[in-house]
Amino acid sequence: MSKSQLIQVPVGFRDSETPALRMGEVVDSTFQIMSFLSRGETGAVYEARDMLLDRLVALKLAWRDSNAPRLLPEARQCSTIAGPPAAAIYALGNHQGTEYVVAERVLGERLSELLVRAPLPDAEVVAIWRAVVEAMAMCHAAGMAVGDVSGSSVLLFPPRAGVRRVVLGRFSMSQVPAIGPHGRIFAPEVIQGQAGPDDPMAAEAIDLYSLGAVAMELATGKPLFYDPELEHVLRGHVDRAPPTLLELRPDLPPELSDLVDWLLVKEPDARPPSVAEVLLQLDAVIERSNSHKPPLRILVVDSNPARGRWLASLVRRANPRTLVAQAPDGADASAKAQAELPDLLLVDATLGGSMNALELGMYVRSLENQTSCKIAVLGEASPGNQAVLELVGATMVNYAPSAIVQFVRALAEERASAERPRRARRRSGVLG
């Protein structure tokens, strides 16, 4: 006699082969079970019909195992977000001694299913990624980390009036998996054991990396560092530099590639400061892509990479039509300025190397006697250098964020005024 015949796991326990609820069974005199949907660590999920309100719902029934987690914390997480990324919670109760939660039945298509059919056009890649970024930003605003966003853990609702709703697996009451098929978080710091997947201090950086990975999956149709062998996938996330979107999808905006590169940095502290910041920059990229007006071109020159990224982010927020390039030193900046003269050269006053801020300003002014490029030197200069900088038309700007934003906005307004067509003045008098 086989072991399975000798030992029968009781109905309702995690390892039982018999569903805890039968099709057609009614829970709490209200919810009629229609079909089985999924099973997970916290319970089994069924599609049911709310007979009072005549609507489909998802009913999650907890396992009866003594060590099974309760469903209430999971339901509270969804209620805390109370928005599109999470399933709405309708009811909580107890069925024959077992906890259950009734939630919104989220219907749609998993991102991985969409990507299998055909490569997405550039506009669709940007639109869906923005919806995912916004969904994660809403979760973070409610104080909730996501843990994994990938083709397997993101559900897309069909577009309604051009808008997609994204439901994230962790907040779907298990109608969508909370994590991909490997059951792993792929942020390098988690793989290497430097941070735990549930560490609240590491949660935001982990989510940021996940956003970059799902952007690559959207653009290419496959998960980042895809390989049938899990060990190769893990090694890729830890040791290999990811390809750039610009290489793989030149039809996408170059600045989108820069943003994704920033998200996929191996070092957590070098990633963007927040998901909200990523959403701001993504919206600026989208606005510039849709604008028929030429962007305001700014070249940021700073030998400190972190401060350079901060400056680039700051000027993008100051004006959405800003196209930012970065240079780590005067030699690189002079080469970029010679190739395409920027509208504004934003340079750190303490720039070192083969060409300091003063020499760089003088070089830019020498380029075919160009005067259209504004030069702003950030920080303080000696009285002698400041006098020479003024001779080449440079403006000293305080490092305070408000001062930099004000300077960029004033330049943008000056340019916008110059682009406006002048109305012809009407002449008065008697025609003779």
135-190 per-position pLDDT tens digit: 999 999 999 999 999 999 999 987 555 667 999 999 999 999 999 888 899 999 99
Regarding whether 273 and 402 lie in a shared domain, the answer is no
Regarding whether 70 and 124 lie in a shared domain, the answer is no
* Spatial contact of 295 and 322, defined as CB atoms under 8 Å apart: yes
pLDDT at 266: 95
CA atoms within 13 A on the CB side of 326: 18
pLDDT at 320: 66
Regarding whether 268 and 144 lie in a shared domain, the answer is yes
Regarding whether 299 and 280 lie in a shared domain, the answer is no
Q: What is the DSSP letter of 274?
A: -
Q: What is the CA radius of gyration of the chain?
A: 28
First to last CA, the chain: 120
Regarding whether 402 and 276 lie in a shared domain, the answer is no
* Spatial contact of 107 and 201, defined as CB atoms under 8 Å apart: no
Dihedrals φ, ψ of 375, to 5°? -120, 125
* Spatial contact of 221 and 276, defined as CB atoms under 8 Å apart: no
Q: How far, in Å, CA of 341 to CA of 322, rounded?
A: 14
- The length of the chain is 432
pLDDT at 428: 44
423 lies in some domain? no
362 lies in some domain? yes
In this structure, what token pair is assigned to residue 318?
A: 């100051």
pLDDT at 160: 52
pLDDT at 426: 47
- Using alpha carbons, list the distances in angstroms from residue 399 to 347, 408, 412: 11, 13, 19
Final residue before a domain boundary, out of 273, 290, 307: 290
Q: How far, in Å, CA of 161 to CA of 163, rounded?
A: 6
Sorted by sequence, the CB contacts under 8 Å of residue 307 that are 6+ apart come out as 348
Residues in the chain with pLDDT values less than 70: 1-6, 159-163, 292-293, 320, 368-371, 419-432
Q: How far, in Å, CA of 134 to CA of 279, rounded?
A: 7
Domain containing residue 312: 293-416
pLDDT at 427: 46
Regarding whether 334 and 245 lie in a shared domain, the answer is no
Regarding whether 122 and 235 lie in a shared domain, the answer is yes
SS3 (DSSP) at 20: coil
Regarding whether 398 and 318 lie in a shared domain, the answer is yes
Say how many domains are in the chain.
Answer: 3
Regarding whether 198 and 146 lie in a shared domain, the answer is yes
Residue linked to tokens 């309100």: 53
Residue linked to tokens 């300091």: 356
Final residue before a domain boundary, out of 290, 307, 335: 290
- For the chain, how many helices (H) and strands (E)? 15, 14
Q: How far, in Å, CA of 92 to CA of 102, rounded?
A: 6
Helix (H) or strand (E) holding 307, with range, is helix 305-318
426 lies in some domain? no
Final residue before a domain boundary, out of 86, 104, 122: 104
* Spatial contact of 273 and 205, defined as CB atoms under 8 Å apart: no
Within 76-149, strands assigned E span 89-95, 98-104, 109-110
pLDDT at 371: 61
Regarding whether 60 and 36 lie in a shared domain, the answer is yes
Q: Cα 212 to chain center, whole Å?
A: 7
Q: What is the CATH number of the domain that holds 190?
A: 1.10.510.10
421 lies in some domain? no
Angle between helices 203-220 and 122-141 (to 10 degrees): 160
118 lies in some domain? yes
Q: What is the CATH number of the domain that holds 393?
A: 3.40.50.2300
pLDDT at 274: 93
Regarding whether 195 and 122 lie in a shared domain, the answer is yes
432 lies in some domain? no
CA nearest neighbour of 60 among 23, 81, 33: 33
56 lies in some domain? yes
Regarding whether 130 and 276 lie in a shared domain, the answer is yes
115 lies in some domain? yes
